Amino acid sequence: MPLTRSDFRYELPPHLIAQTPLPRRADSRLMALDPTRGTLDHRRFDEFPDLLERGDLLVLNDTRVIRARLLGRKDSGGTAELLIERIVGVREALCQVRVSKPLKIGRQIYLAPNEGPLTVVAREGDLYRFEFARDVDSVVDACGRVPLPPYIERDPNEADEARYQTVFATTRGSVAAPTAGLHFDDSVLARCEAAGVAIARLTLHVGAGTFQPLRGDDLSAHRMHSERVRIGEDAVAAIRSCRRRGGRVVAVGTTVVRALETAACDGEVQPYDGETDIFIVPGHRFRAVDALLTNFHLPESTLLMLVSAFAGRRCVLDAYAQAVARGYRFFSYGDAMFIARRADGGDDAV
């Protein structure tokens, strides 16, 4: 029978949802899962370089999180909370909006006394298109807040400015962090390179839709939000070189998997500059990625489905049960999993 949303349900005690980062990035725990060999090990993240092999290629997402959460007041006096979904022009952005009543075209929102208004210029599905009084980047830097995910039940603080950002983030544009990369510090990266592991970078700007739940049980009816991807010639050359020497392509995060699988639709990764709305579920034939570093994901989420496609649903849910039993920390500021791709393509299909 086809899989449904409920096939990816698991029980998670709320106290295991990490609300703050650990003192050091590499202090997190690391579960190492090899579904082909049937092994599962429990480690610390500073041991991650030991799981790599000389000749492997580590692929990072270099996107940088912007201060995408904006608090303001409508011109009518009521409060408004905006979350930028993506910047679509120098002075325009698509936003999720939390207000008491839907906004009409032409309504304005003020963020600060000396800041020009944001004007509603269009409604696009669940999103509003706003025109800013000046360039969006300047406004978010001046008025925005760190866009912590909805399951972190506190306001952002000064520590989040650094910790909800990878140490290799360079290209502005995400409104959520590629969280698998949050575990790396410069020391761990240096040890990977010293062990003969190459590093490549691509960019996928994570949208707020990454937290969007499925609205029905039928996976085939779900449409993913679209995200911007750029994979340059240098990353493609590094992947081809890795293949020639027999190394593994190791994706740091589900965003890297989605980017590479989008660019490998013809069987080999090609340079890519465009959008992706790829939805990876069990039954997907992976063409570009051999191993995956990822965090623990929300029950019934599209990201859990992707990981299940990579390693097999039953295997992943069994590993999650162990993570719960052993008190692993879950979600963005939580612990990590390193997963070798299942050799037979998984145990489920839709």
User: What single string gives the DSSP state of each residue in 129-171?
Assistant: EEE-SS-HHHHHHHH-B----TTS-S---HHHHHHTS-TT--E
Instruction: Tally the domains of the chain.
Output: 2
Q: Which residues contact 40 (CB under 8 A, 6 or more apart)?
A: 31, 32, 33, 34, 319, 322
User: Are 125 and 36 in a shared domain?
Assistant: no
User: Are 24 and 137 in a shared domain?
Assistant: no
Looking at the domain assignment, is residue 303 inside a domain?
A: yes
| CATH code for the domain of 166 | 3.40.1780.10
Looking at the domain assignment, is residue 222 inside a domain?
A: yes
> Closest Cα partner for 60 from 262, 164, 245, 197?
197
| Burial of 150: CB neighbours in 10 Å, binned 0-12, 13-18, 19+ | exposed
CA atoms of 205 and 148, how far apart (whole Å): 15
| Residue 286 one-letter amino acid | F
User: Are 226 and 105 in a shared domain?
Assistant: no
Distances (CA, A) of 151 to 96, 109, 174, 214, 333: 17, 26, 18, 17, 11
- Predicted confidence at residue 350, as pLDDT, reads 43
User: Are 53 and 94 in a shared domain?
Assistant: no
In terms of residue numbers, what domain contains 82? 69-143
Tokens in use for 165? 């950002």
User: Are 108 and 178 in a shared domain?
Assistant: no
Could you say which DSSP state residue 330 is in?
Answer: B
pLDDT tens for the chain, 350 residues long, are: 789 999 999 999 999 999 999 999 999 999 999 999 999 999 999 999 999 999 999 999 999 999 999 999 999 889 999 999 999 999 999 999 999 889 999 999 999 988 999 999 999 988 999 999 999 999 999 999 999 999 999 999 999 999 999 999 999 999 999 999 999 999 999 999 999 999 999 999 998 777 778 888 999 898 888 999 999 999 999 999 999 999 999 999 999 999 999 999 778 999 999 999 999 999 999 999 999 999 999 999 999 999 999 999 999 999 999 999 999 999 999 999 999 998 775 555 44
Could you say which DSSP state residue 64 is in?
Answer: E
> Closest Cα partner for 176 from 225, 104, 249, 114?
225
User: Are 136 and 53 in a shared domain?
Assistant: no
User: Are 78 and 47 in a shared domain?
Assistant: no
Tokens in use for 33? 């899962």
Q: What phi and psi values does residue 110 have, to the nearest 5 degrees?
A: -110, 130
Tokens in use for 262? 């989008």
Looking at the domain assignment, is residue 80 inside a domain?
A: yes
User: Are 330 and 190 in a shared domain?
Assistant: yes
Looking at the domain assignment, is residue 154 inside a domain?
A: no
| CATH code for the domain of 91 | 2.40.10.240
Looking at the domain assignment, is residue 151 inside a domain?
A: no
CA atoms of 87 and 68, how far apart (whole Å): 10
Q: Computed over its alpha carbons, how large is the radius of gyration of the chain?
A: 20
User: Are 50 and 74 in a shared domain?
Assistant: no
Write down how long the chain is: 350
Residue that terminates a domain, selected from 143, 170, 196: 143
CA atoms of 202 and 23, how far apart (whole Å): 28
CA atoms of 253 and 41, how far apart (whole Å): 19
Place of tokens 């570009």: 288
Place of tokens 């306001």: 155
Place of tokens 């002075």: 91
User: Are 90 and 57 in a shared domain?
Assistant: no
Looking at the domain assignment, is residue 266 inside a domain?
A: yes
| Burial of 197: CB neighbours in 10 Å, binned 0-12, 13-18, 19+ | buried
Looking at the domain assignment, is residue 348 inside a domain?
A: no
User: Are 277 and 131 in a shared domain?
Assistant: no
CA atoms of 256 and 234, how far apart (whole Å): 15
Give the ranges where 129-272 is alpha helix by DSSP (H).
136-143, 158-163, 186-194, 233-244, 254-263
CA atoms of 240 and 104, how far apart (whole Å): 51
Looking at the domain assignment, is residue 99 inside a domain?
A: yes
User: Are 54 and 83 in a shared domain?
Assistant: no
Q: Which residues contact 178 (CB under 8 A, 6 or more apart)?
A: 61, 63, 166, 204, 206, 252, 253, 255, 256
Contact (Cβ atoms closer than 8 angstroms) between residue 338 and residue 291 = yes
